[in-house]
């Protein structure tokens, strides 16, 4: 009783509620990993549209298949993405500004790449009220026409004195999106000079699988494992190394394994060598069996898509489909929910006028039985996603995670409850705690039931939440363990629709 009852009367006391509202996590944050013309390296950056991507990573580039995948993702309904730029052998552009006898101030572009050669910097004297200070103006210009200024940053009254509130190293590091100070600034302020160019910047050479998924990268949190620095992602896309070179099986398998740790789904691109519906069926080195280990948190899409390339006068070019498919998945999640298969006549591929391979129903049937999701072209409807199976979706495997929406729904519930039950840690492990757990998780599962996320006409048929003396015997309580059992009846997609027709004999009126 927190209050001291000193006088006769009525006392008001607020007590905490046992209800802790559980809000479902996002379901379609998509992580992209690949090369880009500019931007931070091995650092996950959250973006919300392709304009964000262009500002941070340089927009479309023929040397960056990832840029096309990201553009197609947002075009098809994606709303949230994480970008990890990977590079190999690039050089950061620099400029050296003289600062008196034997001293200089060296600036470098904000990120590695040829783009840094577009930067120019000017040093000017500061206002008389700030003796010893100086002004910096940094511009990004178009190399084809340096009179065209793409961006400008102006920093006033800077100093080279560490600890000063206008210290040039701190100001550029925290406020500039174009450049930073390399090394320790000189004691003297830099000499006033007209615009000087940054020089020496060069782009990354073509990536290999080693830069994406080699085992040592995990220790340095780079490549694929830069996602260790990201809080949450649900879908993972790794576009081809170049517009013509696919990533290898080692990267596919590493991505599948890591995505599984993070409760995410990896979307594989069909190899460019698969030029007909017969190619994935082959058991040779180019076939599906040799491509990847079949885990339940992956899905592969065939064939590639044909889309206009804005950098090639909008002529059709072949692209990996994972970015566009991820956008379709995000759009389906937003309109129907993660439990709806991201396929069907509503799963239209926006901005895709043609597919690289046009399949028949029979060809589609052979691939579907193997767990390969097909992209199909139908009259009037257009080009759509026409498959919703995981890599474990082959009929012969008879796997419980055969269907992609079931796998993703389970991950959604798992991730939500993992985050929403952190408060349970260190609470007294007895009936009052178990009752709170049942109440809170039950309310969350009931909300999903009301959204028609499960099978069953009643909550009892659709889900269960059990946390009581039966699930928590004394031996587990003594170990500090609380056991919670959550089950759900998944909605399985109506993959095959059978219509039976019967001719009725004419009835003779009597």
102 and 164 belong to one structural domain: yes
188 and 293 belong to one structural domain: no
User: How many residues can be counted in the chain?
Assistant: 510
Handedness of CA 394, 400, 401, 405 (dihedral sign): positive
d(Cα 458, Cα 309) in Å, to the nearest integer?
51
What is the CATH classification number for the domain harbouring 158?
2.60.40.4290
Note whether residue 415 is domain-resident: no
CA–CA distance from 382 to each of 328, 350, 355, 377, 378 (Å)? Answer: 14, 9, 10, 5, 5
- Note down the domain range covering 173: 94-197
Tally of CB atoms within 10 A around 68: 25
**Residue 203: predicted pLDDT:** 92
431 and 479 belong to one structural domain: yes
DSSP state of 312: G
Note whether residue 23 is domain-resident: no
**Residue 508: predicted pLDDT:** 63
| Structural domains of the chain, count | 3
CA–CA distance from 273 to each of 56, 280, 291 (Å)? Answer: 33, 10, 12
Residue 466: its H or E element: strand 463-466
289 and 430 belong to one structural domain: no
Note whether residue 14 is domain-resident: no
Note whether residue 212 is domain-resident: yes
Cβ contact 103:190 at 8 Å:
no
Residue 450: its H or E element: helix 431-450
d(Cα 282, Cα 459) in Å, to the nearest integer?
46
168 and 295 belong to one structural domain: no
**Residue 362: predicted pLDDT:** 94
What is the CATH classification number for the domain harbouring 251?
3.40.50.11780
119 and 98 belong to one structural domain: yes
Cβ contact 403:388 at 8 Å:
yes
**Tokens encoding 111:** 């990120």
Which runs of consecutive H residues, i.e. helices, occur in 96-239? Answer: 168-175, 209-213, 217-220
The secondary structure of 79-134 as a DSSP string is --EEEEE--SS-B--EEEEE-STT-EEEEEESSSSGGGGGEEEEEEE--TTSTT-E
Conformational region of residue 418, where left means phi above 0, alpha means psi within -120 to 50, and beta covers everything else: alpha
191 and 243 belong to one structural domain: no
Handedness of CA 426, 431, 433, 438 (dihedral sign): positive
**Tokens encoding 460:** 């009892």
d(Cα 87, Cα 205) in Å, to the nearest integer?
7
**Residue 235: predicted pLDDT:** 98
Q: Quickly tell me which residue has 């809080």 as its tokens.
A: 231
216 and 334 belong to one structural domain: yes
Which runs of consecutive H residues, i.e. helices, occur in 243-381? Answer: 249-261, 288-291, 322-335, 361-370
d(Cα 476, Cα 483) in Å, to the nearest integer?
8
Note whether residue 450 is domain-resident: yes
378 and 433 belong to one structural domain: no
Residues 6+ apart with CB under 8 A from 282: none
Note whether residue 445 is domain-resident: yes
Cβ contact 38:58 at 8 Å:
yes
392 and 438 belong to one structural domain: no
368 and 442 belong to one structural domain: no
**Residue 7: predicted pLDDT:** 87
267 and 327 belong to one structural domain: yes
From 197, 222, 247, the end of a domain falls on: 197
From 136, 168, 197, the end of a domain falls on: 197
Note whether residue 19 is domain-resident: no
108 alpha carbon, distance to own chain's centre: 29
From 374, 405, 436, the end of a domain falls on: 405
Strands lying side by side in the sheet with 104-109: 94-98, 104-109, 179-181
The candidate with the shortest Cα–Cα distance to 32, out of 210, 268, 232, 238, is: 238
Note whether residue 414 is domain-resident: no
Low-confidence ranges of the chain (pLDDT < 70): 1-2, 102, 283-286, 506-510
Provide the terminal-to-terminal Cα distance of the chain, rounded to the nearest Å. Answer: 87
Tally of CB atoms within 10 A around 480: 9
Cβ contact 204:35 at 8 Å:
yes
């Amino acid at each position: 009783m927190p209050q001291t009852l000193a006088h006769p009367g009525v006392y008001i006391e607020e007590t905490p509620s046992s209800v802790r509202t559980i809000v479902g996590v996002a379901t379609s944050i998509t992580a992209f990993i690949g090369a880009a013309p500019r931007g931070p390296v091995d650092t996950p950056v959250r973006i919300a549209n392709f304009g964000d991507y262009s500002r941070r990573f340089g927009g479309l580039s023929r040397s960056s298949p990832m840029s096309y995948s990201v553009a197609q993702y947002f075009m098809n309904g994606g709303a949230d993405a994480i970008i990890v730029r990977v590079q190999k052998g690039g050089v950061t552009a620099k400029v050296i500004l003289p600062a008196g006898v034997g001293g200089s101030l060296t600036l470098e572009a904000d990120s590695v790449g040829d783009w840094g050669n577009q930067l120019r910097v000017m040093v000017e004297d500061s206002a008389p009220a700030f003796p010893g200070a100086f002004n910096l103006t940094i511009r990004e210009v178009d190399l084809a026409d340096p009179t065209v200024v793409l961006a400008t940053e102006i920093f006033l009254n800077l100093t080279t004195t560490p600890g000063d509130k206008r210290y040039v190293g701190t100001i550029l590091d925290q406020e500039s999106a174009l450049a930073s100070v390399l090394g320790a600034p000189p004691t003297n302020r830099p000499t006033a000079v007209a615009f000087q160019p940054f020089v020496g910047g060069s782009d990354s050479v073509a990536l290999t699988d080693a830069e994406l998924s080699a085992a040592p990268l995990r220790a340095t949190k780079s490549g694929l494992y830069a996602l260790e620095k990201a809080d949450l992602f649900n879908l993972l896309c790794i576009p081809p190394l170049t517009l013509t070179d696919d990533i290898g099986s080692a990267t596919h398998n590493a991505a599948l394994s890591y995505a599984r740790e993070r409760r995410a789904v990896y979307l594989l691109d069909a190899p460019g060598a698969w030029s007909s519906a017969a190619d994935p069926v082959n058991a040779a080195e180019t076939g599906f069996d040799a491509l990847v280990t079949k885990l339940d948190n992956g899905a592969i899409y065939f064939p590639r898509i044909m889309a206009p390339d804005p950098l090639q006068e909008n002529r059709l070019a072949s692209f990996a489909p994972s970015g566009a498919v991820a956008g379709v998945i995000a759009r389906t999640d937003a309109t129907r929910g993660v439990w709806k298969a991201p396929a069907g006549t509503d799963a239209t591929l926006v901005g895709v006028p043609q597919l690289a391979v046009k399949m028949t129903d029979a060809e589609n049937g052979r691939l579907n039985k193997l767990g390969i999701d097909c992209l199909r072209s139908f009259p009037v409807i257009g080009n759509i996603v026409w498959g919703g199976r995981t890599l474990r979706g082959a009929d012969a495997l008879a796997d419980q995670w055969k269907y992609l929406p079931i796998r993703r729904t389970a991950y959604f519930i798992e991730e939500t409850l993992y985050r929403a039950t952190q408060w349970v840690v260190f609470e007294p492990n007895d009936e009052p705690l178990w009752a709170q757990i049942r109440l809170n998780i039950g309310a969350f599962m009931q909300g999903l039931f009301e959204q028609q996320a499960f099978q069953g006409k009643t909550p009892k048929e659709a889900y269960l939440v059990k946390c009581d003396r039966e699930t928590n015997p004394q031996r587990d309580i003594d170990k500090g363990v609380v056991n919670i059992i959550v089950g759900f009846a998944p909605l399985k997609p109506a993959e095959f629709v059978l219509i039976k027709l019967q001719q009725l004999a004419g009835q003779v009126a009597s």
